[in-house]
Structure 1
């Protein structure tokens, strides 16, 4: 319930049954929900934790006269509790440190906090400059967090590799100068929005329990454990490392431990990510792993994630013709209603489209689609629309051509004036001088040594023998 409404701030109160109380601050850019909710509300309500939630109507770093009234109200309530814990992210992280002494804090958890509004001593955002412009020069200088502002055990969590536009390096650097005695906890791969790597009522409750215990080692270990095993952290590593280390990512995803990770469906159901990994595995020479991974996409349609990555599963319903997968993680498909080439990340979501696949006809590689159980060859017109024609032994004038470079395939018209490419957003475009990111690779959903021996295409590129399994 709201127990105070000022010109710029709300104070919410949830009276739980704990002998400790949390004071939470809502982060920036959430003013639209300031009246309805507060930071950590779902968790404190689920576990009936006593909490005071401070929320802003206007983003101003909580630098408003309303804070005087709110601090007084908070202190009047919190005096009846054994422990007072302050928690906030980013701008709210600034507030929990800055007001820790005035709020009589015992423990403070600040996630990627800001350190100041003073652009003369630290880089700040344009929005922060606007906020600071409403203050006097003396007030701006006073916004910098100093040792005298602090009370309680302070824990500051940050990612030292966070991208530069978040400004974490500058602000954490200033905090280390101003308050070097506090506890700094490094969390790699979290970027600035660390809270997304700690969310989940059960896991965040474990962090709250560690803060209540007051044991420094336990707090650090709990935060690091939650972060390392959180699906958001695993997802960020996958996105970052897939292109460079696809086999390592493949082994991680197919491991037994990954099957036990909470919310792992966020990875397993991310077809773009899986298709991108398929592309990267093939280009590194891991064709069998790529094929099994592609097959897993079809297996997942059963909803049985427990068997998502069982190796060497053979789905006999799948045809052996390799699918064309783009660099960015898309199937290449043909829309037989519009006669256009499109992309898809989920074939079921485009019922009017058929996947474009490779077919080896007497040593000639053709692009084909299967429609009503029949094979049709893809041809094109001058306006870059396409059509399906009956598959014959004779070459057709408008046949789409392929150029191989290692495991990469470039698809183009016979005169090489138009190369089919796929943008990062999944849209088709046409290039005259394609780059590597405009390439495709061929991946069969059925892979076996027998299939490889009987139906394969072998060629030599840069003194390396390349073999692609093609029916």
Structure 2
């Protein structure tokens, strides 16, 4: 229920039976649902926790004149003796530290907070300039802002978060850093789940650094986000190892493996890299694993669309940007689109007999022929003038249009401008 609402700040209260009250702050990008959402809302319901959740209607880092009134409401609800735990992610992590003393916090858990977003106080990306207001002058967290026992969770390998962790550690020697390796900026995702979060909150309530570190480490390692993020980081240099992991029995045994396979661009990128490096059999196995998971585990409109538009009668052709080469019969041109965002009228292109570029329409194979500024499809047969050809180059192909070859452009189009082969001219077929 909403216990306070102003023009900017909304305060929610879920009454639970926990021995403590958790005061939470939302991160950025939840402003439009401030009246309906607060951090730990579902965890509070499932685990019967007493949670008071701050939300904001503006991306203001909770720097609002309404905060004092909202805190007075909390004091009236809880009284002076209630154990108070303060918890926030990113923008909410900043607020958790900034207002912890005013909130009479016993313990604080701030996930990847920033020291400040004002360029006069620290190095900050230019994008943050759009959030700056007059209230953010001298907004940095000061020693006098911090109350209770503060724990700061961040990924040491995240350059920006490591920088702000360093700045905050200089603010107060009482801040206890708990590293969350492979979490990236959104630490909460690597700890998510009602059971995981509630056990971490229980450890936080103890105020004991050893217990907090141990519980965070245990829950982070168990979370599929940890494995997914590790695979993401490993993929540029160890694509084959990542592919072997994705097709392993251990991944098959995961109930929520779609948490990984839902990132179809990432998986198709691994397929591309493995095929490009010559391990075609492994690339095919991973493609089959992806398709099986999309067909049997995928949920939502994107996955339904993949199945509804499953007009791939032959192998798929991938570009270096993790997209599938397709033919647009309306525009009479080649395009590339992500697997799960492919328009239903697009026809995947693959090499047929004599390496002719082909598409399948209602079970019939047609080959593609370029004529002036258009590409037409005609019944499959012998090579003719203008035939689009898959030209084998070892482990990959270039796609020939006479003396020119196709270039896959970032925006999703195919350009026929060059006869020089570089990365964007290399396609793999699996």
Task: Say yes or no: TM over 0.5.
Answer: yes
Residues 252 and 391 of structure 1, relative CA distance in 2, 3 Å threshold: same
Larger deviation: 433-442 or 248-257?
Answer: 433-442
Any idea what SS the aligned residue of 1:385 has?
A: strand
Residues 41 and 321 of structure 1, relative CA distance in 2, 3 Å threshold: closer
Matched-pair contact (CA < 8 Å) for 1:375–1:391: no
Aligned counterparts, 1:279-298, within 5 A? 279-298=272-291
* Alignment partner, residue 202 of structure 1: 195
Task: Give the length in aligned residue pairs.
Answer: 417
* Alignment partner, residue 425 of structure 2: 438
* Alignment partner, residue 358 of structure 2: 368
Kindly state the Cα deviation for residue 352 of structure 1 after the two structures are TM-superposed: 4.8
1:56-112 residue CA offsets vs partner (Å, 9 max, x unmatched): 233333333322222233233334765311001122212211222222212111011
Computing the radius of gyration from Cα coordinates, the structure with the larger value is: 1
Larger deviation: 23-32 or 267-276?
Answer: 267-276
* Alignment partner, residue 408 of structure 1: 396
1:377-434 residue CA offsets vs partner (Å, 9 max, x unmatched): 3321121423234323xx4222223444442211121122xx2233345443334245
Matched-pair contact (CA < 8 Å) for 2:26–2:88: yes
* Alignment partner, residue 96 of structure 2: 96
Matched-pair contact (CA < 8 Å) for 1:21–1:81: no
* Alignment partner, residue 422 of structure 1: 408
Unmatched tracts of structure 1, length 5 or more: 306-317, 444-471
1:244-267 residue CA offsets vs partner (Å, 9 max, x unmatched): 311111122122332344532133
1:23-73 residue CA offsets vs partner (Å, 9 max, x unmatched): 111223433222222222121122221111122233333333322222233
Larger deviation: 24-33 or 230-239?
Answer: 230-239
Residues 109 and 262 of structure 1, relative CA distance in 2, 3 Å threshold: farther
Residues 414 and 107 of structure 1, relative CA distance in 2, 3 Å threshold: same
Matched-pair contact (CA < 8 Å) for 2:151–2:175: yes
Per the normalisation by structure 2, the TM-score is 0.84
Aligned counterparts, 1:233-312, within 5 A? 233-261=226-254, 263-300=256-293, 302-303=295-296
Residues 440 and 243 of structure 1, relative CA distance in 2, 3 Å threshold: farther
* Alignment partner, residue 303 of structure 2: none
* Partner residue of 1:398 out of 370, 377, 386: 386
Aligned counterparts, 1:179-190, within 5 A? 179-190=172-183
Matched-pair contact (CA < 8 Å) for 2:366–2:377: no
Any idea what SS the aligned residue of 1:94 has?
A: helix
Question: Matched residues in 2 for 1:2 and 1:16: separation?
Answer: 15
Per the normalisation by structure 1, the TM-score is 0.77
Residues 176 and 401 of structure 1, relative CA distance in 2, 3 Å threshold: same
Kindly state the Cα deviation for residue 351 of structure 1 after the two structures are TM-superposed: 5.8
Aligned counterparts, 1:69-468, within 5 A? 69-79=69-79, 83-116=83-116, 119-124=119-124, 134-135=134-135, 140-141=137-138, 143-162=139-158, 167-261=160-254, 263-300=256-293, 302-303=295-296, 322-336=315-329, 339-343=332-336, 345-346=338-339, 352-359=345-352, 361=354, 365-371=355-361, 375-392=365-382, 395-416=383-404, 419-432=405-418, 433-443=420-430
What is the CA RMSD across the aligned residues, in angstroms?
Answer: 3.2
Kindly state the Cα deviation for residue 16 of structure 1 after the two structures are TM-superposed: 0.9
